Amino acid sequence: MSGRPRPPTTRRYAAVDLGAASGRVMVGEVGDGRLELTEAHRFPNEPVRLPDGLHWDIVRLYRELLAGLHRCGDGPVSVGIDSWAVDYGLIDRQGALLGLPYHYRDSRTETVAVPDPGRYAVTGTQHLPFNTVFQLLAEPRGRLAAAERVLLVPDLLGYWLTGQVGTERTNASTTALYDARGGDWATGLIDGLGLRRDLFPALRDPGSPIGTLASHTGLDLPLVAVGSHDTASAVVAVPALAADFAYISAGTWSLVGVELPAPVLTERSRAENFTNELGVDNTIRYLRNVMGLWLLQECQRGWREPDTRALLAAAASAAPFASLVDPDDPTFLAPGDMPARIDAYCARTGQPVPADRPAYVRCVMESLALSHRAALRAAARLSGRTINAVHLIGGGARNELLCQLTADASGLPVVAGPVEATALGNVLVQARADGGPADLPAMRALVAATQPLRRFEPTGDPGAWDSAAARIGLATPSASGAEVHRTASGADGGGAAVQRSGAGRRKAAVKRPDNGRRD
């Protein structure tokens, strides 16, 4: 820990935060003017390819999270678990797991079709080929018949820890089986798809107690429901002090959107592939999923090049707009040779193939910035929400090139940080359940007052970004004063990345041993 004595009002909470590439257990300290994280344990999250497809090694994740909890030291008040969305395990009537959970990048859903008469008007869920609904319909009927419950990944781990069955509400809203208006499972849709209602457990709210860890864990610690979809936890920790913001939770995926009081269930919203996911305190995370840093991660895996910082530095000096791709093209979804796929896309669209690694990285970063711009403009237009600033949170906040290009492309200031937004949101929801910050504004004010942030102002020629967007089919209606407010500094070319002043900050710290990512 920090070595400083903790004030009597400071309380400690354990956050299990599982991403698509790695997991970690963090300890958060929350008190008067204090919000501090320390990493207790980090571990890789590596899928397993078996004869029947691509799976998560969920047993290893369980073992690693237990090891991490044992390393948290004395005094955590509680623990909360968040993870990626949509994937699940099936348990039978004896509580046994029916096989390893499938990975959302497995190909088994490619041929699954779900009739869509009015489905979006009920669930408000973006069409993604790996949504839980498609995965369930791809299950062999014998396996579903043997199943007693469907448990999303955090709920499955919580079941093993406590023996308690349930589904946390923010993650349920990602399944395409949740009624966005009714606030419960969409039983009419479930019936219409031939699924059993009793597969889906009762719903839990963030902040509600789940149970005490069982004796086999060797720990006497209560498990508390948090925003168990990692983006729901991350959005809790957006350091916004006003409502006119958008967010980008940037990691393997970029989740780009705004926070609303009610879902947008229009046909136009469906056509533009926006999703309405539940946030903490029944807010709506109105967003679009963009492929994100997955393209860069797969390039690095193929190159066996772990030095992200060096790649980005070289890419910053590479020629702009030489080659561009649509990151959401289906060809980029599955694991594999990403540079070869970028080459094929460029050849197919009459563009030069990137000449070297810096050119590939520049291509990925500019393409992702253009996707961010398109999603931001669409979110503003479809929701009616004015956007005056973008908060880029998660591991992508370390990527200065991405932050600056997103500011340039969108014409909006980008506030980068906190990097550890998901773990912070997880901890803050636990702290509120323990008598801490009273509401979302109070939680966000604490984040803004204690966490290091950087501000990137728009630079360059907006017309160049317009032309680039048109090349890959991402041209969007021009930003208007009623939707997205381009900053004055974006017009005059001013504004390099500015470190937010630390003056007046109170006991801010995030201590970690490495430069890991947020998925």
Q: Which residues carry out catalysis?
A: 230
Radius of gyration over alpha carbons of the chain, in Å?
A: 22
Element (H, E) at 460: none
Angle at 512 between CA 511 and CA 513, to 5 degrees: 135
Q: Report in angstroms the alpha-carbon separations of 270 from 120, 266, 329, 382.
A: 7, 6, 18, 10
Q: Is 186 exposed, middle or buried (0-12, 13-18, 19+ CB in 10 A)?
A: buried
Residue 265 CA to residue 119 CA, distance in Å, equals 10
Angle at 229 between CA 74 and CA 61, to 5 degrees: 55
Residue 202 CA to residue 409 CA, distance in Å, equals 43
Residue 316 CA to residue 402 CA, distance in Å, equals 10
Start-end of H helices in 216-348: 230-236, 267-271, 294-303, 308-316, 338-348
Q: Within 13 Å, how many C-alpha atoms sit on residue 345's CB side?
A: 23
CB 36 within 8 Å of CB 29: yes
Residue 256 CA to residue 371 CA, distance in Å, equals 9
Q: Report in angstroms the alpha-carbon separations of 232 from 128, 255, 430.
A: 18, 11, 14
